[in-house]
Structure 1
């Protein structure tokens, strides 16, 4: 009997080891998957003053994730630690065409996908705003990393990768994009597509890996114009409520919208059928 138990235990250990090795191998295959997206030529030409180029660039949500020199987006035992890298150090490693591919397609310099990069939204960035964004990135003074180390995947994260459950937006963005050349005069819909829709739906709540985001149309309708400006500038809800991720993103990014732009965003959200 003892011998039988030893054989069964050894078999179970062997099965577990095979499963662990298999999950690790599959997760590594997922992380090393490459995308056939060419880094098309992109010439940075912007006639905007440096201050306006920076203002437009900052409205496109870079700071909310990356902060000034890198930021931890997720740190959960078993799942892993996901780091948004230091852009002041990363940008000089890419030429302009490679930066455009990274931003619009979520494809890194080596052809692999960037996890949790909102390329599905950034695919909508117009050429003139992309030029402003890259010009701003090129102007940044290089800073030491604010976060030691990079992204690391735990056992549960590895299982998610092996099962293809971790989002890589490089899977969703078409390779043959034709973005608009110029930023629209009324940025309401444009801001929704480049920024807001990453976290929010218009009419229904949207569950992400980290939080539940409310539907934007009823939210925008429930806010006065003054309170909506306060929301985007400070990330604070009515009564000064802290709104977590929204508060952080607003304070890093959305506070750079002008009054007119905020009015256009609210008008677009409230007039949707």
Structure 2
């Protein structure tokens, strides 16, 4: 290669790299602008407010749901908020204060506001909540929703602050382009609440419990990349039958229950990312019903 051709090749390479950098920067800028627009969009949802309850049975059921369905992981044991993700690279996410204390994000909530937020991932003003796993709570029965709200309204007042959602520019761009979706974009907002089923070790009750798994493991429980999670998070396991399903490791309910209590697989290795702070609070009936349901599933069809 002559000196002239080498220079020509180098110049073309530099120009090509500059164009790629410019295109990447343009894409990030466009994605960020789209993200800002998506965050401010209005989401209209049909709401039939579930009346407030204050009875002892509702408070006890609500306490159990708060402890075992992931609420503690984001909002803390006192409900006053918790920084639950800080990857050291610009991604910081904290749940807001949902206790009745100073700085509460729900101080003015009425029954309809609680339903919008919990079941639909939408604020009382109609904005989509960036980080709220409402796809897991969208199928709560009316009784369970009322019980959870009853417990939250009767928490001891604790001081806290608003939600923190700091996302690096590439993550915001992915959200803007729809690669990452908020819960409000994934929910069928016309779906009616689940009807109550007997609280026993049955496939029907297990199917109800499994609703809490949808946000990470997907609507068909096939696992894969956790939406919105940091790049270094491992993919969610496949729970449904098929190649790679982890349920082959859990032939019996006792082995499955030990996973929930210890966070360890049968071989002693630790499962990463799963919210075992909440999962270990699940009662035996829920865990065994969930195992029965997962074992009852038929292999899903491709696509």
Query: How many residues end up aligned between the 2 structures?
Result: 259
Q: Does 1:33 align with 2:47?
A: no
Distance between the aligned counterparts of 2:253 and 2:146, measured in 1?
A: 31
Gaps of 5+ in 1: 1-7
Give the C-alpha shift of residue 207 in structure 1: 1.6
Q: Match of 1:90, SS?
A: coil
Greater shift in the superposed pair: 106-115 or 122-131: 106-115
Q: Which residue of 1 aligns with 2:287?
A: 262
Q: Does 1:196 align with 2:196?
A: no
Give the C-alpha shift of residue 87 in structure 1: 2.4
Q: Which residue of 1 aligns with 2:10?
A: none
Greater RCO between the two (CA within 8 Å, min separation 6)?
1
Change (3 A) 1:164 1:77: farther
Distance between the aligned counterparts of 1:104 and 1:49, measured in 2?
A: 18
Question: Rg larger in 1 or in 2?
Answer: 2
- What is the TM-score when the length of structure 1 is the normalising length? 0.80
Show the 5 A alignment for 1:43-82: 43-45=51-53, 47=55, 48=57, 50-68=59-77, 69-76=80-87, 80-82=91-93
Q: Match of 1:55, SS?
A: helix
Give the C-alpha shift of residue 191 in structure 1: 0.8
Q: Which residue of 2 aligns with 1:103?
A: 118
Q: Does 1:222 align with 2:240?
A: no
Distance between the aligned counterparts of 1:261 and 1:15, measured in 2?
A: 51
Distance between the aligned counterparts of 1:258 and 1:20, measured in 2?
A: 46
Q: Match of 1:140, SS?
A: coil
Once the two structures are superposed, what CA deviation does each residue of 1:107-153 show, in whole Å capped at 9, x if it has no partner?
012211112322222111111110111011111123233x8972123
CA contact under 8 A between 2:39 and 2:127: conserved in structure 1? yes
Q: Does 1:150 align with 2:192?
A: no
Gaps of 5+ in 2: 1-14, 299-303
CA contact under 8 A between 2:66 and 2:72: conserved in structure 1? no
Greater shift in the superposed pair: 226-235 or 176-185: 176-185
Change (3 A) 1:23 1:199: closer
CA contact under 8 A between 2:28 and 2:170: conserved in structure 1? no
Distance between the aligned counterparts of 2:122 and 2:91, measured in 1?
A: 21
Distance between the aligned counterparts of 1:79 and 1:163, measured in 2?
A: 20
- What is the TM-score when the length of structure 2 is the normalising length? 0.73
Q: Match of 2:128, SS?
A: coil
Greater shift in the superposed pair: 263-272 or 60-69: 60-69
The structure where helix makes up a greater share of residues is: 1
Q: Which residue of 2 aligns with 1:5?
A: none
Give the C-alpha shift of residue 17 in structure 1: 9.1
Distance between the aligned counterparts of 1:254 and 1:20, measured in 2?
A: 37
Distance between the aligned counterparts of 2:26 and 2:237, measured in 1?
A: 43
